[in-house]
Structure 1
């Protein structure tokens, strides 16, 4: 007995008439009758009582009908799941997010939009610096990641730049340049200040800060290092130094921290990128990459409008 015969049986059982069941199945009545008889011979039971105006299930037929429907429903669910997975509409996705990237309005917005568009994809989010991301990719613990290190050196990864934003300075509120009259500060005027940097050397924004300071004519005096952007801002608020952050970080309001734009040269930039494994065959990953890249283009166009 095969699935085709089960479908024939269910159609006849539901229609209670072989001719109507044949019309429903798009076939002729005689071949359908032969298939039902073949099933009865194979099972050695009578499934239907033939009546002048149709058929009626026997007790054995009623017992088969419930299980036949369950089998066909299970097979259909399996087929639907397979098709959705193949189209990238169902599955699991582990997404990494650089600490500073989570403050960019684009990141939560695009993740929320993807979840709404593909509700059957299970998303797991995890914060991680660039070295954390490389480690998790190498152990197949991450599928895609929003990163700041778009120049990350790893032959197994592809980094696609998405958006660019200026970096600004986060000052302790007691700093002389944190007064309301100061709207923008030249970076070179901060040469004598202590800097609080986050992440180890090699982290994108750590390196970008050092490069910008050197371009302004000085090497930053690194007074403190912190593992995350939030702890960095906490140290700034405590008056232990200042730091450069992506412009979007000013959406975080912390008592004791004042944000100011940078003026003149250099104008350091923070780039938001999307990392993925080179040649990843996952349809869900491809779906996510296409969705985010398209959304980034729309977001960029909206900023220019």
Structure 2
């Protein structure tokens, strides 16, 4: 027996008539009769009592009815779930991000928008060191990642460019620089630079000011960077989205007037992604 036999059996049990059941199934009544007879022969017992106009279930048929209904429901559910998974309507995504994606509000907007449209796709969202995130995506430990570019990517990983963002200077409140009405790149030539994960802002400011920067610690995330600034360890060139989102004692943010440096947030993913749910996410980001 296969699932087809269970469907035939259920149609007869519900209609209590072979002709009506055959019409519902779209097959000829003799074909339906033979299929039920084959089931009864294989089971070694009668499933229906035949009367002049209708049929009724035997005790064996009544016992089979409960199991047949459950089996068909489970089979149809498995079919639907497989189809939905193939379309990307269900599934699981491991998503990594850097802190500035949160400060910008972009991560919240895109994750919540996707979750609202595809509520049956589970998302595990974790902060991750930016330098290792692209390789972790390539290795399959993450499916997607929000990083700050420019950043060298391994072969097999691509980036979708999202929003551009400039830089600001984080400095201790008692720094001599705060006495200046305007801060230019050249004013920073003797400063010790605390380095965020994305160092392009620091290097571009130094290039603009025509000096070689004094490089200090690179503690990791932006909060750790600004914490060192608050301890008087140096200054830091950080994404402007931290203003209003990371507020620590003894730290102020100032514009660097002649600094045209910028970076951009990007969604990185495997070049030949196979997971339908992940492909759905990438397509939604590209189209919004």
Q: TM-score, with normalisation over the residues of structure 2? A: 0.90
Distance 2:174 2:52 in 1: 97
Give how far 1:62 is off: 1.3
3-state SS of paired residue (1:123): strand
Quote the residue 1:195 is aligned against.
Answer: 193
Q: Provide Cα deviations, 1:32-66, integer angstroms capped at 9, x if missing partner.
A: 23322222122221111223442221110111112
Quote the residue 2:31 is aligned against.
Answer: 31
Give how far 1:177 is off: 4.5
3-state SS of paired residue (2:269): strand
Give how far 1:6 is off: 0.8
Quote the residue 1:40 is aligned against.
Answer: 40
Q: Provide Cα deviations, 1:90-143, integer angstroms capped at 9, x if missing partner.
A: 222111112322222111110111112112212122222333113413432111
Distance 1:232 1:243 in 2: 7
Q: Does 1:225 align with 2:218?
A: yes
Distance 2:132 2:126 in 1: 10
User: CA distance change for structure 1 residues 247 and 93 in 2, over 3 Å: closer, same or farther?
Assistant: same
What is the number of equivalent residue pairs in this alignment? 287
3-state SS of paired residue (1:148): strand
Q: Provide Cα deviations, 1:168-190, integer angstroms capped at 9, x if missing partner.
A: 112223334447x95x6322222
Q: Provide Cα deviations, 1:143-185, integer angstroms capped at 9, x if missing partner.
A: 1111113441411211222211111112223334447x95x63
1:270 aligned residue (253, 256, 263): 263
Give yes or no for contact 2:194–2:218 (8 Å, CA) kept in 1: yes
3-state SS of paired residue (2:46): coil
Q: In angstroms, what is the RMSD of aligned CA positions?
A: 2.2
Quote the residue 2:277 is aligned against.
Answer: 284
Quote the residue 2:149 is aligned against.
Answer: 149
Distance 1:261 1:53 in 2: 90
Distance 1:291 1:40 in 2: 52
Correspondence 1:72-221 to 2 at 5 A: 72-178=72-178, 185-199=183-197, 205-221=198-214
Q: TM-score, with normalisation over the residues of structure 1? A: 0.86
3-state SS of paired residue (1:192): coil
User: CA distance change for structure 1 residues 224 and 151 in 2, over 3 Å: closer, same or farther?
Assistant: closer
Distance 1:166 1:128 in 2: 22
Distance 2:51 2:43 in 1: 21
Quote the residue 1:298 is aligned against.
Answer: none
1:243 aligned residue (236, 246, 257): 236
User: CA distance change for structure 1 residues 17 and 176 in 2, over 3 Å: closer, same or farther?
Assistant: farther
3-state SS of paired residue (1:147): strand
3-state SS of paired residue (1:224): coil
User: CA distance change for structure 1 residues 178 and 84 in 2, over 3 Å: closer, same or farther?
Assistant: farther
Distance 2:195 2:225 in 1: 7
User: CA distance change for structure 1 residues 105 and 178 in 2, over 3 Å: closer, same or farther?
Assistant: farther
User: CA distance change for structure 1 residues 45 and 185 in 2, over 3 Å: closer, same or farther?
Assistant: same
Give how far 1:234 is off: 1.2
Give yes or no for contact 1:19–1:29 (8 Å, CA) kept in 2: yes
Distance 2:193 2:278 in 1: 38
3-state SS of paired residue (2:234): coil
